[in-house]
């Protein structure tokens, strides 16, 4: 029966190896879809802005300042695409992505700038309740921006799809928990149904025709990799959805302030 036990051990090891391999494949598949998802946004914006510039030039009615704004936006979006690709290369080389001390209020403003066309088109009113005195966090800029972007986009899309009469988005930053910075994104959309709640953060769960169901799952992975947490809060003031994430604030700053 020694050989029986050996056989069973061998079998268990093989099973483990298979599982690990499948896990890696899954992660790579998710990553590839995630990157396609992330790149799509800046590339679409670049194309839209480029065509808008051409139209403006062709019409002969060129407002220099407006054109400069559009060109600047193209530049920012192209840099963003480059950063996403750099990040992918780092991942493939298994390097740790660069983390830096970040002011989350700044990241929020940047994301709102990027999404401004969509927000305006959807008729969404954005209310900022940003605490200017929050501590900075040690994090990977593009990744955290991606999380904020996903939450804001989901909120806007939910209000449009629901045809909500009032379309209001409240973004809050505050210190909270134990030395943490909390970001909240609240909308006045339909909220999250009971059935949806349990699987909300699972990959490939979507209610959208063209959705991939990866936004929330990727976002949660990013925040957890930063020792934080991302969750749906049921204490929303209205019927809409309220998502929050918390990230640990830097202790270094506390010390240097003394
Ligand atoms: P996707 O946006 O591709 O569907 P997500 O993981 O970001 O993927 O979202 C999963 C699903 O969660 C969405 O399809 C939607 O049904 C629901 N959801 C996410 N955010 C909101 C929100 N703010 N309001 C209502 N439903 C939401």
For 82-99, the DSSP string reads: HHHHHHHHHHHTTPPPP-
What token pair was written down for 41?
Answer: 């946004």
Our mutation pick for probing the ligand 1 site, out of 154, 167, 244, counting the most ligand atoms within 8 A of Cβ, is 154
pLDDT for position 255: 46
Which residue's alpha carbon is at the smallest distance from atom 1 of ligand 1?
213
Nearest Cα residue to 173 out of 122, 224, 231, 133: 133
Helix %, strand %, coil % for the chain, to 5?
Answer: 55, 15, 25
Distance CA 226, CA 180 (A): 12
Substitution candidate for ligand 1 out of 124, 199, 216 with most atoms within 8 A of CB: 216
Q: Of 41, 206, 217, which is best to mutate to test ligand 1, by the most ligand atoms within 8 angstroms of its C-beta?
A: 206
Residue 203 CA: nearest ligand 1 atom is: 6
CB of 166 sitting under 6 A from ligand 1: no
User: With contact defined as beta carbons under 8 Å apart, do 134 and 171 qualify?
Assistant: no
* Residue 212 beta carbon below 6 angstroms from any ligand 1 atom: yes
Q: Which helix (H) or strand (E) holds 160?
A: helix 141-161
Atom of ligand 1 nearest to the CA of 159: 24
Cα end-to-end span (Å), the chain: 68
Q: Is the CB of 27 under 6 A from ligand 1?
A: no
Coil, strand or helix: which one is 207? Answer: coil
Q: Count Cβ atoms below 10 Å from residue 10 Cβ, excluding itself.
A: 10
Query: Of all atoms in ligand 1, which is nearest to the CA of residue 243?
Result: 23
Distance CA 201, CA 159 (A): 19
pTM exceeds 0.75: no
The span from the CA of 9 to the CA of 17, in Å, is: 12
Residue 5's pLDDT is what?
81
Q: Which long-range contacts (CB under 8 A, 24 or more apart) does 119-127 make?
A: 119/152, 119/156, 119/169, 122/156, 122/159, 122/160, 122/167, 123/167, 124/155, 124/156, 124/159, 124/167, 124/168, 124/169, 125/167, 125/168, 125/169, 126/169, 126/170, 126/171, 127/168, 127/169, 127/170, 127/171
Q: Quick check: CB of 205 below 6 Å from ligand 1?
A: yes
**What six digits make up the tokens of 47?**
């194309």
CA distance 216 to 203: 8
Residue that is written with structure tokens 């149904």 in the block: 193
Mean pLDDT by 10 residues, the chain (258 residues): 78 64 57 77 94 93 90 92 80 67 95 87 97 95 88 95 93 90 97 91 84 85 91 86 96 52
């Amino acid at each position: 029966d020694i050989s029986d036990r050996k056989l069973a051990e061998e079998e268990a090891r093989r099973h483990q190896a298979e599982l690990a391999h499948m896990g890696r494949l899954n992660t790579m598949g998710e990553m590839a879809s995630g990157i396609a998802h992330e790149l799509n946004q800046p590339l679409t914006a670049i194309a839209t802005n480029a065509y808008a510039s051409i139209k403006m030039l062709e019409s002969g009615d060129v407002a220099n300042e407006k054109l400069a704004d559009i060109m600047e936006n193209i530049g920012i979006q192209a840099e963003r695409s480059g950063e996403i690709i750099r990040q992918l290369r780092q991942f493939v080389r298994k390097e740790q992505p660069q983390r830096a001390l970040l002011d989350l209020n700044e990241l929020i403003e940047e994301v709102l700038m990027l999404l401004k066309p969509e927000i305006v088109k959807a008729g969404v009113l954005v209310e900022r309740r940003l605490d200017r005195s929050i501590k900075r966090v040690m994090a990977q800029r593009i990744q955290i921006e991606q999380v904020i972007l996903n939450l804001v986009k989901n909120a806007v899309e939910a209000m449009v799809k629901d045809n909500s009469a009032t379309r209001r988005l409240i973004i809050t930053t505050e210190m909270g928990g134990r030395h943490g910075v909390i970001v909240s994104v609240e909308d006045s959309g339909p909220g999250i149904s009971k059935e949806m709640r349990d699987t909300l953060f699972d990959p490939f769960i979507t209610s959208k025709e063209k959705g991939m169901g990866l936004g929330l799952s990727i976002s949660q992975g990013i925040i957890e990799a930063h020792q934080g947490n991302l969750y749906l809060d049921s204490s929303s003031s209205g019927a809409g959805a309220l998502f929050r994430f918390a990230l640990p604030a830097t202790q270094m700053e506390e010390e240097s302030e003394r």
